[in-house]
Structure 1
Amino acid sequence: MFIRKGEPGPTIRAVDVGFGRVKALSEDRQLEFPSVVSSFRPVRYSTGINQADPVERLCCEYAGRKYFIGDIVFKQADAMVTMNAERFTRPEGLALMFSALALLSGADSETLNLATGLPVSDFAGKKDVYRQALLGRHYIKLVNPDGSGERVFNLHVADCRILPQPMGTVFDRVLNDAGELVNKRLAAGNVGVLDIGQNTVDLVRVDGLEFVDGQSDSFSDLGLFDAYGLLYREIKDIYNVEIPPARMEKYLQNNFIEVDGYRQNIAGIKQRVFAAHAERIVSRALNLWRDAWQLNSIIVTGGGAAILGDYISRQLNRPGQVELVDRDRATLSNANGYLKLARRVWQR
């Protein structure tokens, strides 16, 4: 796209569409919401008392179909569709992406450069198709839950960079906010990234900032939801109550569930299940990284790092190597890296 001298270029956006949550960043805003969609039907009544964040009541029309998006799905939908590898380029997956971009947009019409990612196992086969699906002009309409208040966004993706998702964490560690290389020791090193998502665990090995393809992979049976599924079965066997994995997280914060009016402590069950699940993750990682002793650093990141990171660190038992991304940064680490790389590519 030709830009006259002195005219502002496209705005920069970074979006990480995970199987569990969508994370999106602009220069001055960040947001996240669950990666779930469902067919829309107008909500017939609202009290008007609860002034929810727009992210929590997100509804859109994209490519001729209306959707509930994110948190509102759990309250209003009869059925929901979660993200998987096939949905990145389908209308429901693109609705997640462009809903996030619309919420970040400061204007109804915007030209932008976009940095995003794909799971390691899907990167080679889907990156070109995904890029073509994202490039160009997209119209998305945000509506209120009752179907009123339509606002149409005209979003033009002028350029797009797609990365294997855990590479975002690498760039987050080696670049500063301006996209300048500042952590030269890590950039020159031999690094493993263990990215724990809701549905998958992605493993990436990087040597001198070169992606080591043969020692990078995704595993769809090791994510945080799998650990929640194991916990669900344990709780059901002991207390005969069902807590779906998608709703498990709030019960883990205080280690209690209430059954028939009595509080039951589930801390011991949680520790046993999570330790066993961490052992499975570490076993898979060390099987892929047979010479893990040569790694200068093993970075544990992703939304699941806050829950499973300490268990994984103990299982690895490599205190000189393991680096846990801070709990308040782990979920957004990949998206932060996308944004830093975007600044390096498009603003320098």
Structure 2
Amino acid sequence: MQILGIDVGFGFTKAYDGVNNIIFNSVMGDATAIQFQTSLGSDDPNEKIHITFDGEELFIGNYAQRQSHITDYTLDQDKLIERFVKVMTVTAAGLCSASTEPINVVTGLPVGFMKRDSGRLKKIIRGHHEISFHKTGQSSETRKIYIDKVAVIPQPIGSIFHLIFDEFGKVKDHSLSRKKLGVVDIGFKTTDYSIFD
């Protein structure tokens, strides 16, 4: 079993498996036929994310912004969960991890949406998924991704956990663990704050 942290935000999708990380814009668009390509420029594979998922062929992130005729992004919480979370989560899992074993995902929600959206978010991303990654001039790679468990935590709590606990979950800063702490979480067109005591 592998644990993968994934954050699908309004601006960017981020993932980390303890070794590898990935970040791309939370934008998707139609996979338009590109008339001319060159090998000049960036060779970063994350700059040209081209997928087929749930019967849709899509460009993701910067590639969608540069090449798609019609792009889609959102600043609406309901649309983010209903339309974006599944696509972005499975794309990030497929890019960040080459594991074939079940994946446990840790993700976050703004504190104000925890009760309302936590169950819905888990239901949307949990399960068996198949995604194909298309690379220019190469054959496509189809990955089967099984998201077994999903833990949803308040977004700012990850910052607190990082300060107080080590990688094994043991308290590393006892003094800090007894203090009242505040976190200001600045996102893409959002700012949240939380107090922990």
TM over 0.5: yes
Percent identity of the aligned residues? 24
Secondary structure of 2:93 counterpart: helix
Quick one: which of 95, 100, 104 aligns to 1:103?
Answer: 95
- 1:223-276 Cα offsets, whole Å, 9 max, x none, are xxxxxxxxxxxxxxxxxxxxxxxxxxxxxxxxxxxxxxxxxxxxxxxxxxxxxx
- Please give the residue correspondences for 1:34-183 in structure 2 after superposition, counting only pairs within 5 Å: 34-83=25-74, 84-107=76-99, 109-144=100-135, 149-183=139-173
Q: Structure 2: which 5+ runs fail to align? A: none
Per the normalisation by structure 1, the TM-score is 0.53
- 1:95-152 Cα offsets, whole Å, 9 max, x none, are 1111110011224x33111101112222210000111112111111111368x63211
The one-letter code sitting in structure 2 at the alignment partner of 1:111 is: P
| Alignment correspondent of 1:224 | none
Q: Structure 1: which 5+ runs fail to align? A: 1-9, 208-348
Secondary structure of 1:100 counterpart: helix
Rate the CA distance shift 1:16–1:39 in 2: closer, same or farther, 3 A. same
**Aligned-residue CA RMSD (Å):** 1.8
Secondary structure of 2:171 counterpart: coil
| Alignment correspondent of 1:295 | none
Is the strand fraction higher in 1 or 2? 2
- Structure-1 separation of matches of 2:190 and 2:136: 31
Per the normalisation by structure 2, the TM-score is 0.91
| Alignment correspondent of 1:283 | none
| Alignment correspondent of 1:19 | 10
Contact 1:43 1:145 in 2 (8 A): no
Deviation of residue 197 (structure 1)? 0.7
| Alignment correspondent of 2:184 | 194
Deviation of residue 70 (structure 1)? 0.8
Secondary structure of 2:101 counterpart: strand
Runs of 4+ in 1 over 4 A off after TM superposition: none
Contact 1:15 1:116 in 2 (8 A): yes
Contact 2:32 2:69 in 1 (8 A): no
Q: Between the two structures, name the one with larger relative contact order (CA 8 Å, sep ≥ 6).
A: 2
- 1:7-53 Cα offsets, whole Å, 9 max, x none, are xxx11111111111111101211111111111222322211233521
Secondary structure of 2:153 counterpart: strand
Contact 1:110 1:154 in 2 (8 A): no
Is the helix fraction higher in 1 or 2? 1
Contact 2:20 2:97 in 1 (8 A): no
